[in-house]
Each structure stands twice: as structure tokens, then as C-alpha cells.
Amino acid sequence: MTEAAAQDSTSYAGQPVVELERDGVRYTLLGTAHVSRASIDAVNAAIDSGRFDAVAVELDEQRHKALTQPDALAQLDLVKVIREKKVAPFAANLALAAYQRRLAEQLGIEPGAELKAAATEAVARGLSLQLIDRDVGITFRRILQGLSWWDRAKLIGSVAAGLFDREDVSEADIERLKEGDMLESSFGEFARETPTLYASLIDERDRYMAAKLRERGDGAKHVLAVVGAGHLKGMAKYLAEEQRAPQALTEELVQVRQKRNIPWITLTLMVLICGGIAWGYFHGGRDLGRDLLLQWVAWTGGLAALGALLARGHVLSILAAAIAAPLKPFRPGLPPGMFSALAEVHLRKPAYPDFLALRDDAQTLAGWYRNRVCRVVLVFLLSNIGSAIGVWISGASILGRLIH
């Protein structure tokens, strides 16, 4: 294999380029800035040159649809998202969309426009197009599984803050974005301070995209890969040096460690609480047992219902949260927010305009309450948060009663 790097090449509008050859295929990695008109010009010039018979872009299927099909979100099956427990990745995607919209309004250019141009122009010219980035939802879940409980809370807080931040993106962040990665930038300062997050967010995707390039089966001999400048060095390294079979590597990098159906901490807590209530019945009398049971129902059901109420859920969604939360010990792995959100989506079915307005509405708190899609997410999240708080409060209260 051979490798050559060319910086500030006039044929690529001054954008960084790495060219290398492996297994009879020549790869040209074009590093772009996701908020630069020069990058769009470089992409168009490269494809117009006629040198390439295939184009690869730093997009997954979902982001590609979001860029090229304005009404793609209207095809979303929200019930499926809830049942497959993908609400959190969906919320992360809303945060990314809100961040991109802020950039577009501030800079007058759509973030990722050069990726859209590459994909659109490749199809228009009849060139083979490959989407090589890993699914955003998988990346988000792999990030979470590698973080401590406290870092998860900070990450979720960072994402939530990004949803409602109306201030202009700082010049420093814009400069970093020109040299870095859109997902990394959307997570803000937290991404730069957390090595574990960087591994899943950047390095793993470098390996994944390099492997996807090697997986090609279309017979292309000269491939143009359009990727963010922050991925250029890592992708070039893995494309040149990685020896593992590409399919095995990509399969490994999309695996998400499955949680045990009954996490030990949850099981232990539930056993203690249920055991405490039972002990109260047999040793403290019926009145004590009844009081402990009522405490459990009141705290867990009440706070789950309060969460659904704060999300302005339908009255039956609030009732679903109140009923589901106390029954948590009998259905481990199924959060009460799933039931309240499913009730909400059926009782207040999102309409076509809700999906079309999703990216705009996700930028403001008022929009989250106005948009029925966003409100389903709110009902899910706040019901679960309320239930979790209720479990710990009721557990402490029951333990206190038994000790005294």
C-alpha cells in the first residue's frame, strides 16, 4: 500500500487531502469543514473532475435522510421508537438538529452542506454512493455504556442545555468545528474533557469509516471519501494499517452491551423494599404493612404522575404513569415512562405538521410543549425521572420506619 498527503491543494480549494492506495483501490480522503463554503466548492470540484467512480460520505442513513429529504421525520414511527427503547437516542438527535439549526441561522450556511452536496452530486452523476458513518443512535448508546453514572448525568445535562440554548455559537466553537466533528461540537465542553467519550465519538468512528471503505463491493477503483477534517488523520491511519477483516470490525463497533434484564442494584433495592413491606405486615401488624405499602405507591406513583403532569401529558397518560410506577418490581426493564408515553402518543397522535416543525420546535422550551412529538419525549423522560426519585425516597422512608 502507498500513501501520499497533499495539503492546500489548489484542486481542492485549499482543503486538506490524503491519498492512499490499498488492495488495488485508490482512496482520496477529502477533509472538510462542516460550516464552510470552501468545502462545498472543493467537493463540487472533486466530483466535477471525473476522476472518481465512487463517492463515500461521513453520513449514516438517518442523517442522510435528514439532509436530503426535508420531510423524512414525518415517516418516523414514534410508537416503534418507544417500544424499542430508543427515546434517549431520539432526544439526542433532536439536540443535534437544534444545534445545527442555530449554526445555520448564525452563519447563513447549513451545517453538513458539503456532505449533502457530495451525496446529491454523486447520485446525479450516476456514481456509486456509500454512507460510511455509524448510526448516531448506536454511537450515543456506546458513549453512555462507557461513562460513569455522574458522567452520564453531565452528558445528558449538556445535551438538554444544548436544546434550549439560544445564544450564538462562540467563535472558538466555530473554529473548532472547522477542524473537528459535528457530533463532538454538539456535546460541547464535556466532549473535550472526557477521554472515554472521545474514544466512542471520534476514534471508533475513524476505525468504523475506514473499515466501511474497505468493505466496498462495487468494484470501484478510485473512491472519493468526504469526511470532516477532524477524522482525516485517524481514518488515513486505520485505512493504511488496519489488518482485521473489515466486516468483523464494523460488526464489533456497532455492538452495544446489553443491560441485564434485572440489574443487580434494582433487584436488590426492590427486594429490600418488598421485603420491608412484608416484614411490616407479619411483625408490625396490618396497619404498619398497609402504611408502608401506601408510602411506596404514593411516592413512586405520585412522583411519576407529577413528572407526566409537568410534561403536560394527557390525563390518561398521567394515570398510566401513576399505575405503572408502583408495579415496577413486577416488570423489570420496562420503565413507567414507556407506558405513559405510549398512552400519550395514542391519545394525542402527532400530526404531519408536528414532524415538519420538529427541528424548529426542539430549539425552545415552548416548542417542546407545543409540538406533540417533543411532548411525548417529555412525558417519557419526566415520568421516568419522577418514578426513580420516588423509588429512592420511598425506600428510605420504609427503611426509616422499620428501624424505628
DSSP letter at 331 equals S
Higher pLDDT, 351 or 346: 346
Question: Which residue in the block uniquely carries the three cell numbers 398497609?
Answer: 290
pLDDT per position as a tens digit, 183-215: 655 555 555 556 666 667 788 899 999 999 998
For 283, the domain range is: 264-403
- What distance in Å separates the CA atoms of residue 232 and residue 19, rounded to the nearest whole number? 11
Higher pLDDT, 73 or 41: 41
Q: What is the pLDDT of residue 316?
A: 95
337 and 229 co-located in one domain: no
13 within a domain of the structure (yes/no)? yes
Cα angle for residues 366, 87, 339 (degrees, 5° grid): 95
Q: Please, what's the b/e burial string for 149-184 (b: 16 or more CB within 10 A of its CB; e: otherwise)?
A: eebeebbbebbeebbeeeeebeeebbeebbebbbbb
296 within a domain of the structure (yes/no)? yes
168 within a domain of the structure (yes/no)? yes
- What distance in Å separates the CA atoms of residue 399 and residue 404, rounded to the nearest whole number? 9
389 and 323 co-located in one domain: yes
62 and 160 co-located in one domain: yes
Mean predicted lDDT score pLDDT of the chain: 79
Question: Among 137-141, 160-164, 267-271, 364-368, which is the least confidently predicted range?
Answer: 160-164
What angle, rounded to 10 degrees, do the helices at 149-164 and 136-145 form?
A: 140
142 and 15 co-located in one domain: yes
226 and 276 co-located in one domain: no
Count of CB atoms situated within 10 Å of the CB of 24: 7
**Confidence band, pLDDT 50/70/90 cuts, at residue 400:** confident
183 within a domain of the structure (yes/no)? yes
214 and 344 co-located in one domain: no
Higher pLDDT, 163 or 4: 163
Task: Evaluate whether 60 touches 66 at the Cβ level (below 8 Å).
Answer: no
205 and 184 co-located in one domain: yes
Q: What is the pLDDT of residue 54?
A: 93
- Of 253, 283, 311, the domain-final residue: 253
Cα angle for residues 43, 36, 210 (degrees, 5° grid): 55
190 and 92 co-located in one domain: yes
pLDDT per position as a tens digit, 122-146: 999 999 999 999 988 888 888 777 7
pLDDT per position as a tens digit, 208-254: 999 999 987 778 899 999 998 888 889 999 999 999 999 999 999 99
Q: What is the pLDDT of residue 207?
A: 94
151 within a domain of the structure (yes/no)? yes
87 and 209 co-located in one domain: yes
Q: What is the pLDDT of residue 270?
A: 63
335 within a domain of the structure (yes/no)? yes
219 and 344 co-located in one domain: no
How many domains, in total, are found in the chain? Answer: 2
Q: Name which of 73, 70, 205 is nearest 131 in CA terms.
A: 205
What angle, rounded to 10 degrees, do the helices at 372-403 and 336-347 form?
A: 150
Q: What is the pLDDT of residue 9?
A: 45
Higher pLDDT, 148 or 3: 148
259 within a domain of the structure (yes/no)? no
276 and 349 co-located in one domain: yes
241 and 278 co-located in one domain: no
Task: Return phi, psi of residue 57, to 5°.
Answer: -130, 150
DSSP 344-378: HHHHTPPPHHHHHTHHHHTTSHHHHHHSHHHHHHH
- Of 228, 253, 278, the domain-final residue: 253
Q: Name which of 35, 45, 55 is nearest 13 in CA terms.
A: 45
- What distance in Å separates the CA atoms of residue 258 and residue 145, rounded to the nearest whole number? 9
258 within a domain of the structure (yes/no)? no
Q: What is the pLDDT of residue 132?
A: 94
